[in-house]
C-alpha cells in the first residue's frame, strides 16, 4: 500500500484551516450574492415590464453593475484563490473530490461559463435591448448561477454526509446525499437575503430618485427576505441529516463549535426577526447604515455557519473516507506497522535546528499527522495543550488520540514515531534547548504499543448522550 505524500506548508502560528476558512467564507458570501442577485434582478425586471413598478427598470441596471463588479471580479478572484489555498492545504482531499466528481465539476464549469457570458452580455447590451430579451438574458444568468450552486452543493455536502456512496461508491449516491436538499434550500434562502440587503444598500446609494421611489423599491426588494421565515425549519431539517457525532459537537461536545454555532444562530435570528418585522410593518424605511449593518451581520452568520460546517466534519475531510490529515482510515493499520513518515520524501525546513535524529522524526510525524489542525505554538498550539502533562501522559493521550477527543483521527504511526513525537513536544515545552538526549527505552515502546493496540485503529465516538449508537453513516 503506497499512500501519496505531498509537500506540507507551514503558515507559522496560523492554523491551516483558518487560512482556507477566511478566504472560503468571503467566496461563499460573494457567490451567494451573485445567485440571489440574479433572482432578484429577474423579479425586478418582471415588475418593470409588467408595469407593476416603474422605478424598477433604472434600478435593475444600477444593481447589475454592482453585482457584476462585486461578484464577477471578486467572486472569480476568490474562487480561483480557493483552488489555490485548498490545494496547498489538503491536496489529497481535492484529489478525491476531483476523482469522484470529475464530470460534475465539468458540468458546474459549463454553468459558470454560461453565467459569466449571460452576465457580460447583459452588462454590455442590456440597456439597448427590449424587455423580453432583457428578461431572457437575466433568466439565463440567474438560472445558470443557481445551477452552479446546485452542482457544487452536491460535492460540498457529500464531504459531510456521503450517504450511500460510502458503500457503493456511486457518484449519484454521493451527489444526492442526505444533506443535499436541506443545504441547497438553506443556501438559496441565504442567497436571497444577501441579495435583498445588498439591494437595500444600493437603493440608498442611488443618486437619482426621491425618498418615495426608494421606499417603493425597498419594499419590493424586501420580498426576498420573506423566505427567511423558513430558516428555523430548514435548520432543523439540515441538522437532522448530519451525523449524530457532528451534531453532538455543536451541542456542547466541542466548545468552539458550540460557540460558533450559537453565534450563527443568534445572528441569523436577529436578521430574520428584523427582516420579518420590516416586511410586516410596511412603513419602515431601511436606511443605508441599517442595510450595511444587516449585510455585515449576514456575513458574520455565513462565517459562523461555514466554520461549523467545516468543523463538525472532523476528524474527516470526507466522512468515513479520508481523515483531515489526508490519511485514509484503511491505511492506519499499515502505517502503524511501517511508520507514517518512513516514505515521506520531503525534507524538514527546520532540520538544522533540531538537536537529534529522533526529534527530526518527531517533527516529521507532527507535520504529517497533526499540523493540519494544530500548530506547535500558536493557534491550537500543542505546546500549550500538553504543557501540563508528563511524558507518560503525553504517550497515553496521543496513543489513544481518538479517545482523547473523538474529533481527532487515530494515531497512525509506529511506537517509535509516537515516542519521537512526544520527545518533540517535550523539547518544545522546555524551550528548545540545544542539547537533547534521544530515548530508546524498550519498555516505554512496549507500553506505547500496548496503548496503541488498545485504542485500535477505528475512529473515535463522540461521548455526548445519544451518540453511542451513532446513526451517522446514513
Ligand atoms: C482533525 C483535526 C486534528 C488532528 C489531525 C489532530 N488534532 Fe489534536 N485536537 C484537535 C482539536 C480541535 C482539539 C481541541 C482543542 C481544544 O480543546 O481547545 C485537539 C486537542 C488536542 C490535544 C489536547 C487534548 C485535551 O484533552 O486537552 C492534544 C494533546 C492533541 N490534540 C494532540 C494531537 C496530536 C499529537 C495530533 C497528531 C498526532 C493531533 N492532535 C491531531 C484537532 C486535531
90 grid coordinates: 489538503
Say yes or no to pLDDT of 383 above 70. Answer: yes
Which three-class secondary structure string do you get for the chain?
Answer: CCCCCCCCCCCCCCCHHHHHHHHHHHHHHHHHHHHHHHHHHHHHHHHHHCCCCCCHHHHHHHHHHHHHHHHHHHHHHHHHHHHHHHHHHCHHHHHHHHHHCHHHHHHHHHHHHHHHHHHHHHHHHHHHCCHHHHHHHHHHHHHHHHHHHHHHHHHHHHHHCCCCHHHHCCHHHHHCCCCHHHHHHHHHHHHHHHHHHHHHHHHHHCCCCCHHHHHHHHHHHHHHHHHHHHHHHHHHHHHHHCCHHHHHHHHHHCHHHHHHHHHHHHHHHHHHHHHHHHHHCCCCCCCHHHHHHHHHHHHHHHHHHHHHHHHCCCCEEECCCEECCCCCHHHHHHHHHHCCCCCCCCCCCCHHHCCCHHHHHHHHHHHHHHCCCCECCCCCEHHHHHCCCCHHHHHHHHHCHHHHCCCCCCCCCCHHHHHHHHHHHHHHHCCCCCCCCCCCCHHHHHHHHHHHHHHCCCCCCCCCHHHCCCCCCC
Q: How far is the CA of 401 from the centre of ligand 1 (A)?
A: 8
pLDDT at 71: 82
* pLDDT recorded at residue 286: 84
Sign of CA dihedral 18, 22, 24, 28: positive
The answer to pTM > 0.85 is yes
pLDDT in tens, 93-130: 999 999 999 999 999 999 999 999 999 999 999 999 99
Q: Three-state secondary structure along 399-453? A: HCHHHHCCCCCCCCCCHHHHHHHHHHHHHHHCCCCCCCCCCCCHHHHHHHHHHHH
Q: What is the pLDDT of residues 196-254, one digit of tens each?
A: 999 999 999 888 778 888 999 999 999 999 999 999 999 999 999 999 988 988 888 88
Classify 298 as helix, strand or coil. Answer: helix
Distance CA 320, CA 328 (A): 8
Residues 6+ apart with CB under 8 A from 177: 154, 157, 158, 161, 162, 163, 164, 165
pLDDT value for 463: 54
Q: Which ligand 1 atom is at minimum distance from the Cα of 314?
A: 1
Compute, in angstroms, the gap from residue 389 CA to the centroid of ligand 1: 14
Report whether pLDDT(467) > 60.
no
Confidence of residue 58 (pLDDT cuts 50, 70, 90): confident
Is 14's pLDDT higher than 80?
no
Helix (H, G, I), strand (E, B) or coil at 317: strand
397 Cα–ligand 1 center, Å: 10
pLDDT band at residue 465 under the 50/70/90 scheme: very low
Asked if pLDDT for residue 22 goes beyond 50, the answer is: yes
Nearest residue to 197 (alpha-carbon basis) of 287, 91, 105: 287
Where does the pLDDT of residue 471 fall: very low under 50, low under 70, confident under 90, or very high at 90 and above?
Answer: very low
| Strand, coil or helix: 209 | coil
Q: Is the pLDDT of residue 171 over 80?
A: yes
For residues 9-21, give the mean pLDDT: 74
Ligand 1 atom nearest to CA at 412: 38
Res 428: pLDDT:
95
Residue 58, all three cell numbers:
433604472
Closest residue to atom 20 of ligand 1, CA basis: 405
Q: Which H/E stretch holds residue 64?
A: helix 56-67
Q: Quick: pLDDT tens for 293-327.
A: 999 999 999 999 888 888 889 999 999 999 999 99
For residues 292 and 299, is the Cβ–Cβ distance under 8 A?
Answer: no
Ligand 1 atom at minimal distance to the Cα of residue 386: 29
Higher-pLDDT residue of 3 and 164 is 164
Select from 159, 367, 374 the residue to mutate for testing ligand 1; criterion: most ligand atoms less than 8 Å from CB. 374
pLDDT of residue 23: 86
pLDDT category of residue 10 using cuts at 50, 70 and 90: confident
End-to-end CA distance of the chain: 29
**Average pLDDT in the 146-153 region?**
97
Q: Smallest Cα–Cα separation from 416: which of 329, 343, 337?
A: 337
Which of 311, 373, 395, 398, when mutated, tests ligand 1's pocket best, judged by the most ligand atoms within 8 Å of its CB?
Answer: 373
| Mean pLDDT calculated for residue range 180-205 | 95
Angle, vertex CA 135, rays to CA 134 and CA 137, nearest 5: 65
pLDDT at 468 (0 to 100): 37
pLDDT above 90 as % of the chain: 72
- Which of 385, 407, 451 is the pocket-test mutation for ligand 1 (most atoms within 8 Å of CB)? 385
Residue 32 pLDDT class (50, 70, 90 cuts): very high
Residue 470 has pLDDT above 50, yes or no: no
Residue ranges per domain, the chain? 16-323, 330-466
Ligand 1 atom closest to 389 (CA): 29
Stretch 452-458: mean pLDDT: 96
pLDDT band at 72 (very low <50, low <70, confident <90, very high): confident
Q: Give one DSSP letter per residue of 452-470, joined into a string.
A: HHHH-SSPP---SGGGTT-
What is the arithmetic mean of pLDDT over 275-285? Answer: 80
pLDDT, one tens digit per residue, over 252-273 is: 888 888 888 999 999 999 999 9
Question: Residue 354 Cα, ligand 1 centroid: separation in angstroms?
Answer: 23
16-323 classified as CATH 2.60.40: no
**Per-residue pLDDT at 75:** 85
**Rounded distance, CA 96 to CA 323, Å?**
12
pLDDT of residue 473: 33
The β-bridge partners of 375 are: 381
- Within 6 Å (CB) of ligand 1, which residues are found? 314-315, 324-325, 369-370, 372-374, 380, 382, 385-386, 397-398, 401, 404-405, 407-409, 411
Q: Is the pLDDT of residue 333 over 80?
A: yes
Mean pLDDT over each residue of the chain, to the nearest integer = 91
Amino acid at each position: 500500500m503506497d499512500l501519496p505524500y505531498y509537500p506540507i506548508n507551514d503558515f507559522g502560528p496560523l492554523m491551516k484551516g483558518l487560512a482556507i476558512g477566511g478566504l472560503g467564507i468571503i467566496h461563499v458570501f460573494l457567490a451567494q450574492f451573485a445567485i440571489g442577485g440574479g433572482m432578484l434582478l429577474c423579479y425586478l425586471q418582471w415588475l418593470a415590464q409588467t408595469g407593476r413598478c416603474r422605478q424598477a427598470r433604472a434600478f435593475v441596471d444600477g444593481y447589475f453593475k454592482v453585482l457584476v463588479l462585486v461578484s464577477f471580479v471578486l467572486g472569480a478572484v476568490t474562487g480561483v484563490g480557493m483552488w489555490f489555498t485548498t490545494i496547498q492545504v489538503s491536496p489529497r482531499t481535492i484529489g478525491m473530490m476531483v476523482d469522484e466528481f470529475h464530470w460534475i465539476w465539468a458540468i458546474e464549469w459549463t454553468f459558470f461559463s454560461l453565467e459569466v457570458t449571460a452576465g457580460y452580455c447583459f452588462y454590455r447590451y442590456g440597456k439597448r435591448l427590449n424587455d423580453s430579451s432583457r428578461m431572457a438574458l437575466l433568466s439565463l444568468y440567474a438560472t445558470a448561477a443557481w445551477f452552479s450552486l446546485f452542482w457544487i452543493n452536491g460535492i460540498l455536502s457529500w464531504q459531510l454526509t456521503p450517504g450511500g456512496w460510502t458503500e457503493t461508491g456511486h457518484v449519484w449516491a454521493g451527489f444526492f446525499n442526505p444533506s443535499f436538499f436541506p443545504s441547497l434550500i438553506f443556501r438559496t434562502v441565504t442567497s436571497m437575503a444577501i441579495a435583498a440587503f445588498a439591494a437595500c444598500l444600493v437603493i440608498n446609494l442611488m443618486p437619482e430618485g426621491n425618498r418615495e421611489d426608494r421606499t417603493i423599491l425597498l419594499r419590493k426588494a424586501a420580498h426576498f427576505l420573506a423566505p427567511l421565515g423558513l430558516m428555523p425549519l430548514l435548520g432543523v431539517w439540515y441538522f437532522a441529516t448530519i451525523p449524530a457525532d457532528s451534531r453532538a459537537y455543536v451541542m456542547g461536545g466541542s466548545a468552539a463549535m458550540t460557540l460558533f454555532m450559537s453565534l450563527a444562530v443568534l445572528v441569523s435570528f436577529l436578521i430574520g426577526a428584523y427582516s420579518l418585522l420590516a416586511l410586516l410593518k410596511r412603513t419602515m424605511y431601511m436606511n443605508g447604515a441599517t442595510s450595511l449593518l444587516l449585510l455585515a451581520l449576514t456575513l458574520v452568520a455565513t462565517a459562523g455557519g461555514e466554520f461549523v460546517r467545516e468543523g463538525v466534519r472532523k476528524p474527516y475531510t470526507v466522512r468515513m473516507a479520508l481523515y483531515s490529515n489526508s490519511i485514509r482510515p484503511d491505511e492506519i493499520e499499515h502505517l502503524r506497522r511501517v511508520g507514517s513518515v518512513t516514505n515521506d520524501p520531503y525534507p524538514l525546513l527546520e532540520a538544522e535546528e533540531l538537536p537529534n535524529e529522533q526529534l527530526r522524526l518527531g517533527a516529521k510525524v507532527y507535520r504529517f499527522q497533526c499540523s493540519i489542525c494544530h500548530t506547535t505554538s500558536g493557534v491550537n498550539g500543542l505546546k500549550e495543550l500538553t504543557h501540563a502533562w508528563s511524558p507518560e501522559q503525553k504517550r497515553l493521550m496521543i496513543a489513544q488520540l481518538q479517545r482523547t477527543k473523538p474529533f481527532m483521527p487515530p494515531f497512525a504511526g509506529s511506537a517509535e514515531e509516537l515516542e519521537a513525537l512526544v520527545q518533540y513536544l517535550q523539547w518544545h515545552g522546555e524551550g528548545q534547548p540545544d542539547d537533547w538526549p534521544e530515548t530508546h527505552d524498550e519498555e516505554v515502546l512496549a507500553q506505547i504499543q500496548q496503548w496503541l493496540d488498545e485504542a485500535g485503529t477505528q475512529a473515535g465516538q463522540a461521548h455526548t448522550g445519544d451518540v453511542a449508537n451513532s446513526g451517522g453513516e446514513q
